[in-house]
Amino acid sequence: MNKKFLKEIFSYVMIMIGALMAAFSVACILLPNDAIDYGTAGVAIIISKMTAFPLSPCVLIVFLPFILGGFLLLGTRFSIKALFGAIIYTVGLDIFEEIPFVLNTEHFLAVAFGGAILGLGLSLILRHGGCIDGSEIFANIIIKKLSDKTGRNFSMSGILIGFNACVYLAAFILINRNAALLSLLVYVVATAVIDHFTDHFEAIKQVTIITKEPDKLVAAIKKKLNKTCTIMDSYGAIAGENKTLICYVNYFELQKMKEIIAENKGTFSTVSTIDEILR
């Protein structure tokens, strides 16, 4: 078994663990304490509460259209991981809903604890190239369309905040104000944990690549990501003359960028988070 295959298997194991952590948080902590998840899972929970339709199939049904959009625009590898994570998440919801679990503490503390577990689970999924929330796929598709049309790079933050604001407004109107406010706490805690472990996944990423053979890299980046690069002459004390490539991508595109770099040996790369690009 080669190293690449083992790494891929490990990523699926981590996605599975992350999805089960998220399912445990939602089924055993958040829902019993009158809070809901955010994103498309939050939409599915609201629909389930309003219609009495079982939660786990409702989550999968709401998520499937986003999976299809991800398959068409973000690639097969990402979509397979996203679908795998979503299936594990929904199966986990079914299992954990049947397990008696009581957290004898105040709603506020329980929801904060549940949000932290949810954030840890989602962090594992995101760090290994997966996704179990359609709002992230939706934001990524919008960003990709805008970038392709304008040639500029955009952050996902505004789209994600707007999407979740709609979810909490729906919870406020259709469920009750306590559920909406407790769910907002879940969002704040979970995203704080995710930001810590993924270095602000919704922000733009700058990839800097030092190589002696830039042409193959530039061609692969253009073909697979439809991105261009800034190319600069550089000099290493040991390696001598080489080229430095700078490219801007979002968090989901970063996974493809890593694959491109791995296919081109003899490179040195760094990734940094960009708060703002001025033009």
List average pLDDT for each run of 10 residues in the chain, which is 279 residues long. 80 94 92 87 91 89 86 78 90 89 78 92 89 84 79 78 90 86 89 85 87 88 86 83 89 84 85 78
CA separation for the pair 20, 12 (Å, rounded)? 12
One-letter amino acid of 225? L
Q: What is the pLDDT of residue 47?
A: 92
**What tokens were used for 200?**
């602000």
Distance CA 170, CA 59 (A): 17
Of the chain, the end-to-end C-alpha distance in Å amounts to 48
| Amino acid identity for residue 118 in this structure | L
How far apart, in whole angstroms, are the C-alpha atoms of residue 109 and residue 170?
24
Distance (Å, whole) CA 78 – CA 251: 12
Q: What is the CATH number of domain 204-274?
A: 3.30.70.120
* Helix, strand, or coil (residue 156): coil
Per-residue pLDDT at 3: 76
Parallel, antiparallel, or unpaired for β 230-236 and 268-274?
Answer: unpaired
pLDDT at 75: 73
The answer to whether 118 touches 24, Cβ cutoff 8 Å, is no
Going from N- to C-terminal start, the domains of the chain cover 3-198, 204-274
pLDDT of residue 20: 95
38: closest CA among 52, 25, 54?
25
pTM of structure: 0.83
The residue with tokens 């990523």 is: 11
**The two structure tokens encoding residue 111:** 């929801």
CA 9 to chain centre: 19
Q: So what's the pLDDT on residue 25?
A: 93
